[in-house]
Structure 1
Amino acid sequence: MLPMSVLLRDMHKESKLLPPHLVAEYLCQLLTRIDVKTFGATQWNVLRSAVKEPQRPLNANSNILATVDKTFLQYLQDKIDGDVWVTGSKEYTLRRRVFNQAISHFPIGIVVPQSEADIVKIIDYANRQNLQISIKGAGHGVTGAAVINGGIVIDMSTFQNIELCADGQSVKVGAGIRNRDLDRFLSHHNKVVPLGTCPDVGVVGATLGGGIGFLSRKYGLSCDNVLAFNLITADGQQRVVNAGEHTDLFWALRGSGGAQFGVITHITFSLHPAPDSIEGGIIEWPIHKANGILTHYSETVLQGPRTQFLYAYIARSTAKQAKISIMGFSEDPDTSLHDITSWETDADISITHKQYIECQSNNYEQGHALYWRNGIIEGALTQDFITTVLQCFQSCPDNAGGIMLDPLCGAIQDVGAHETAFIHRNASFVCSITGVTPPDQVNIEVTEWVNQTYERLSPFFNGHAYQNYDMGNDFPLIGYYGQHTQRLIAIKQKFDPELRFVGALQRHLQKTA
């Protein structure tokens, strides 16, 4: 729907004068965004299905924008205790940014609620105006799905509460909390929740798609440790979702990825004792050692102890400086990370004894445009796969791309394939191909390398992809959800029949409507 159609309709309902320049702007939007192919299929009453391309942002310096801003604030700001930000404001500019600097989306408004009551009112407003909603926690999703073009963004950054439950064995976490916040809080109680290794990632967003980190092989995914979700659905109902209430949603929220069924305000996790003794660090070898390293790595992931977690990666670099690296974590003194250094000679070793929270404080580069593809590998890394990976990296433009392997197995495989929506229970690795460029430069050579590498490696993948590494509109729904696809579609249609909340399920259903 064109956002201005909402504004004009509301003004008409309240018998307000429609300024000629607003009508002219609406007609301008209409004429520039409807083409010959879509003209006959357009629903001209509300233009609900007319636009499939990203919304063009309004001119931030125009007089029209000032009227749009004022009108939007008038209809929503007065209803809630939180804030509404629109194009032209400094807060809008800051809050629409996401981690991936290749993404630049323009919602018609970014709303920062202060309470669950605010969220109910925002959803009601979106329902009445027929606007779609995206939810922003930390905005780390690689496709920038947290910030929607032409809809409403609910920015959950004010939901910063963390509460240790009375039993001391669980914790309730607000939707604005990032990994580093929860790790720091729990370190004072000598407890942990299995979380990802990037400190800036939002806890809720990562959990919805699975959540893989150092403790996953011992305690499972982040989503495997959820006791309850506090969820507000498209009908404005506040629901506690757990193993005894709304069990269909409880199943779906553990692995569907993204805020696709409503607004999650809090998650309650079960807790585990913090590790006592930890080794952590990075071991690197020259790239010509990679064949043997990746063979050893594969064997260790498939057969090694659950107390050990190892990433393997080739980081972006020049061809002459390329390394094969293992980032490791071990809490078992009998399986020291120093044993890994014997895999090949000429190792560059940076391993120390650490506190768990130090292992969770990795530095990730920021401020780049990212181009990301990924696939799932079952079983061992074959020699053909390893050879192809190394050949692909040789063709990568200097300092512009990398390939990474996330390990699975262990406790992740203890959960039955049908117990949650997460389908990768029998997988061994997630393989990611990433291109990196400055945010203000489009480098076709880099994006082509990512796509070509993905195509060359696809025969080694099982046809699926990790939900938290969303690959956008072109990737088929079954690739994320496999045998669970139809069940998730049915739950989406039950709780969000108007497709209010955006995500992979909404994109699929909107295409097939």
Structure 2
Amino acid sequence: MKKLNIILFFLWCILLINLVKVNASPLTSCLSSIKGQTVYPNNKTFPSLILDENLYVNYTPSVLIYAANNQDVQTSINCATKLKMDITARSGGHSYEKYGLGGRNNVMVVDLTNINEITIDSKAKTAKIGAGNRLGVIYDKLSQAGFLIPAGTCPSVGIGGHALGGGYGFAGRKYGFAADNIISMEMVDANGKLLQVDKQTNADLFFALRGAGGGSFGIVTSFVFKLHEVPPQVTSMQFQFRRSQVQQLFTAYNEVGQTLDNNIVLSVSLDKDSLSIDGLYLGPAKNAKDAMKPFLSRAPKPTSSNFKQETFFDSVITFSYVPSNDVAKPKHHPYFFKAKSFFVNKGLTSEAIDTLSNFLSTVSCSTYALFDLLGGTANIVDDTSSFMHRDSIYGIQLVGSDWKNKAQGDKCVKELNDFGKNFQSKFTSYFSYQNYIDRDLDDWQTRYYGQNFNKLVDIKTKYDPNNLFKFPQSIPVKG
């Protein structure tokens, strides 16, 4: 009897397996060889896995594929082609318009979180970095080996979209944008083929990916970055001003900002109540104070100032504004927001400052503006890169957030869109920053990519003629 029960049990198992095979959807069948994890909408964890950074926009993918390696990415792309499905990649889930989920429903999402290799070659001063790594992890591991790459201040941002769209932040004025420091990449194309991409191999794709590569041409799975030695000490700088001093502060910012020592990175923050500057100097505090004299001698007297000498990684913690444990092990802090971006190449006029200041005081939701100082190496034109924002004094990010319901959110977004269009037409350059992607931006093709757009369309048509990789603001194919 016991033997019979065992036989019946195995027969039942075989029957169940066959039932699963019969009832499996074409999608689950096609993805059955994936070594990583596939998560479908009927999984109870699914809603939490698609929150990402911005709660204002929401989409439901057909499946989340947590790729374990390049082969999983290739399998996913081949399945998307076979099943005529849309497909996109998610590196960190920080896209302002949730293009990491495709920017619409029912997209196959390849999440790169587990493609997280970081291999450092100290002698060559290079690192191979998987596209699923977050900036906080990268800073942590590189700094332990005595190196850094120039990149952003938010530790939960994924390196994939960040570097492919430019990538500005720590050390940017000395070492350029993150994209400028990419030596080579691995990318899976629309045919499921793994391509090597560098200055000599697929050079046109190398041009496109470094500045316009966020999801339009294929799925980049890894980078080789040029590394820079971390100084023994850096200096974090923080200054508080009275808000009424904003005109005087920007007079100084406009006059001497770009001529400051390239070891300095500054960001002015303005909202309805406050005015402040965060800064980093790649060196000791004594040198930082000397390097800041040309600016501080022209700027209004701050109500408080602080020069803090610390390690580079400690400065990452200082300016992340998240708990220290969240830097080396970053996680999302989702919230409702909408962002606009601008570039300024002649300095904002006093009228522009008044206009922006008044808007910040009257807009219906909590809103702030950040002014990131550019110049130095960041403004050197690189013909091997499609990133074209090289002639600006500073970039501006305008962010509205923290509304209580959808009606308030819709009102705030309309106010931001209306203000942004008027402000850009009167006071800033024509261009905007593709890493602060904005679905409501008109003529985004020119504002993000300028004179490079037509060339990018040609490259897109060559490598993805059937437009497999697409989202609402992806590079299109010809015709």
TM-score w.r.t. length of structure 1: 0.81
Inter-partner Cα distance in structure 1 for 2:441 and 2:259: 36
Aligned twin of 1:244 = 200
Change (3 A) 1:287 1:122: same
Aligned twin of 2:430 = 463
Equivalent residues in 2 for 1:502-513, closer than 5 Å: 502-503=470-471, 506=474, 508-509=476-477
Aligned twin of 1:423 = 388
Matched AA of 1:494:
K
Is the CA contact (8 Å cut-off) linking 2:371 and 2:394 kept in structure 1?
A: yes
Is the CA contact (8 Å cut-off) linking 2:185 and 2:222 kept in structure 1?
A: yes
Contiguous gaps of at least 5 residues in structure 1: 1-65
Aligned twin of 1:327 = 278
Matched AA of 1:436:
S
- Which residue among 105, 125, 133 is the counterpart of 2:59? 105
- Which residue among 26, 29, 43 is the counterpart of 1:89? 43
Is the CA contact (8 Å cut-off) linking 2:187 and 2:219 kept in structure 1?
A: yes
Matched AA of 1:89:
N
Deviations 1:155-202 (A, max 9, x none): 111111100137341000011111111111111111111111111111
Deviations 1:421-453 (A, max 9, x none): 001111222112111024754413322331232
Is the CA contact (8 Å cut-off) linking 2:372 and 2:396 kept in structure 1?
A: yes
Matched AA of 2:190:
A
Is the CA contact (8 Å cut-off) linking 1:433 and 1:453 kept in structure 2?
A: no
Matched AA of 1:248:
D
Aligned twin of 1:367 = 334
Inter-partner Cα distance in structure 2 for 1:195 and 1:382: 29
Equivalent residues in 2 for 1:161-240, closer than 5 Å: 161-165=117-121, 167-240=123-196
Runs (4+) off by over 6 Å: 66-69
Matched AA of 2:400:
G
Aligned twin of 2:29 = 75
Inter-partner Cα distance in structure 2 for 1:89 and 1:370: 28
Shift of 1:345: 3.2
Q: Tell whether 2:261 aligns with 1:305.
A: yes
Aligned twin of 1:381 = 348
Q: Tell whether 2:110 aligns with 1:145.
A: no
Inter-partner Cα distance in structure 1 for 2:351 and 2:22: 58
Is the CA contact (8 Å cut-off) linking 1:73 and 1:84 kept in structure 2?
A: no
Inter-partner Cα distance in structure 1 for 2:413 and 2:22: 37
The secondary structure found in structure 1 opposite 2:432 is coil
Inter-partner Cα distance in structure 2 for 1:245 and 1:374: 34
Matched AA of 1:95:
L
Aligned twin of 1:27 = none
Change (3 A) 1:439 1:252: farther
Deviations 1:61-90 (A, max 9, x none): xxxxx9999525632341211222111213
Is the CA contact (8 Å cut-off) linking 1:126 and 1:132 kept in structure 2?
A: yes
Shift of 1:131: 1.0
Change (3 A) 1:127 1:364: farther
Matched AA of 2:391:
N
Aligned twin of 1:345 = 301
Is the CA contact (8 Å cut-off) linking 1:103 and 1:144 kept in structure 2?
A: yes
Aligned twin of 1:480 = 448
Contiguous gaps of at least 5 residues in structure 2: 1-19, 323-332
* Structure number with higher relative contact order (C-alpha < 8 Å, ≥ 6 residues apart): 2
Inter-partner Cα distance in structure 2 for 1:507 and 1:69: 38
Change (3 A) 1:122 1:296: same
Instruction: Select between 483-492 and 435-444 the one with higher mean Cα deviation.
Output: 435-444
% identity of equivalent residues: 23
Matched AA of 1:128:
K
Aligned twin of 1:296 = 252
- Which residue among 323, 333, 355 is the counterpart of 2:311? 355
Change (3 A) 1:68 1:453: farther
Change (3 A) 1:475 1:118: same
Inter-partner Cα distance in structure 2 for 1:213 and 1:98: 21
Is the CA contact (8 Å cut-off) linking 1:314 and 1:323 kept in structure 2?
A: yes
Shift of 1:92: 2.1
Matched AA of 1:268:
V
The secondary structure found in structure 1 opposite 2:32 is helix
Deviations 1:410-429 (A, max 9, x none): 1012233x331001111222
Aligned twin of 2:363 = 396
Change (3 A) 1:497 1:505: farther
Instruction: Select between 199-208 and 354-363 the one with higher mean Cα deviation.
Output: 354-363
The secondary structure found in structure 1 opposite 2:74 is helix
The secondary structure found in structure 1 opposite 2:80 is helix
Number of residue pairs the alignment of both structures matches? 439
Deviations 1:389-417 (A, max 9, x none): 2122222236x11111122211012233x
Aligned twin of 2:467 = 499
- Which residue among 410, 416, 422 is the counterpart of 1:450? 416
Inter-partner Cα distance in structure 1 for 2:267 and 2:82: 47
The secondary structure found in structure 2 opposite 1:282 is strand
The secondary structure found in structure 2 opposite 1:453 is helix
Deviations 1:249-295 (A, max 9, x none): 00111100412111111100011110233211321112111111122
Matched AA of 1:99:
E
Is the CA contact (8 Å cut-off) linking 1:297 and 1:312 kept in structure 2?
A: no
